Amino acid sequence: MKRSGPLFTLFAGLVLALFMLSVNATTGTGSSSYSDDSSGTSEPTAPPTASTPGERPDPSRTATPTPTKKPPADGRYTGRTDDDSASIAITLSDGKAVAYFCDGRATESWLKGDVEDDGSMRLTGKNGAKLDGRLTDDGSKVRGTVDIRKKSWAFTAPKAKKPSGVYRATTEVRGEKVDGGWIVQPDGSQVGILSRDGEPAQAPRLDPATGTVVLDDGGRLTARPVVP
């Protein structure tokens, strides 16, 4: 007389775990740990429409690398402000965008919002930070402006590949809240700000391959690519 109930229990857990993994792997880019959006409009299914007046009306929107029905295509964009004073990185995923603006010293902002089907986006961040951007029709770059604390910058962010992009690490070290953001450019250069208890400072270097950051005091952080 052997009880098989416990085996069924374990088996059910295994099946559930595999099911969740497959859901994760197939949806891949669901909502993230960072998003606190509640818009519920994350499934834009309409095909790409022509762009607004004033932009190049380019009906052949086929240059995007992923020929999917969901516009705009997911991607990473990294670039700099036109005055070259700060970096900006945007990650698009599933009709949402998250952007990070960072001058590597004191000014940084995380912004997020939805991406319209025509590739335009209006992202918002803390303290009234705003980003108005627009994906070019061929999906090769995002152009726009970002407004933070009454200052405004124009920027261009071309499409980039891993390991370029935006990374974030949030943790606490000995009770101190540590929040770091990094932008890795395609040429390998990077900027980052690490705030300890809200005090921003230049961040130590991030190893883009592993996401490891070695702090001045020898501690380690692990930064992860940011997905909206």
**Is 219 among the residues that bind another protein (CB under 8 A)?**
yes
Residue 215 CB, nearest approach to another protein (Å): 10
Q: What is the Cα–Cα distance from 155 to 168, expressed in whole angstroms?
A: 21
Q: By rule CB under 8 A, what count of residues binds another protein? A: 42
Under the binding rule (CB under 8 A), the answer on residue 54 touching another protein is: no
Interface with another protein includes 171 (CB under 8 A)? yes
CB of 82 to another protein, least distance (A): 30
**Distance separating alpha carbons of residues 198 and 181, to the nearest angstrom:** 13
Report the residue from 2, 56, 126, 150 that binds another protein according to the rule CB under 8 A: 2
Q: Strand order of the sheet with strand 220-222?
A: 206-207, 212-214, 220-222
Of 106, 90, 189, 181, nearest to 143 by C-alpha is 90
Residues, the chain, total?
228
d(CA 225, CA 96): 15
CA angle 209, 211, 217 (to 5 degrees): 125
Contact at 8 Å (CB) between 70 and 150? no
**Which listed range, 19-27, 51-59, 118-126, 183-191, lies at the site for another protein (CB under 8 A)?**
19-27
Q: Which of 17, 63, 154, 214 binds another protein (CB under 8 A)?
A: 17
Of 13 and 128, the one with the shorter C-beta distance to another protein is 13
Judge whether 225 and 91 are in contact, CB under 8 Å: yes
Question: Using CB under 8 A, which of 3, 56, 69, 126 touches another protein?
Answer: 3
Stretch that binds another protein, among 8-16, 73-81, 107-115, 192-200 (CB under 8 A): 8-16
Spell out, one character per residue from 21 to 40, where the chain touches another protein: x when CB under 8 A holds, - when not: x-xx--xxxxxxxxxx-x-x
Measure the N-to-C terminal CA separation of the chain; round to a whole number of Å: 53
Asked if residue 111 binds another protein (CB under 8 A), the reply is no
Burial class (CB in 10 A: 0-12, 13-18, 19+), 21: exposed
User: Rule CB under 8 A: which residues touch another protein?
Assistant: 1-7, 9-10, 12-13, 16-17, 20-21, 23-24, 27-36, 38, 40, 93, 169, 171-173, 219-222, 224-227
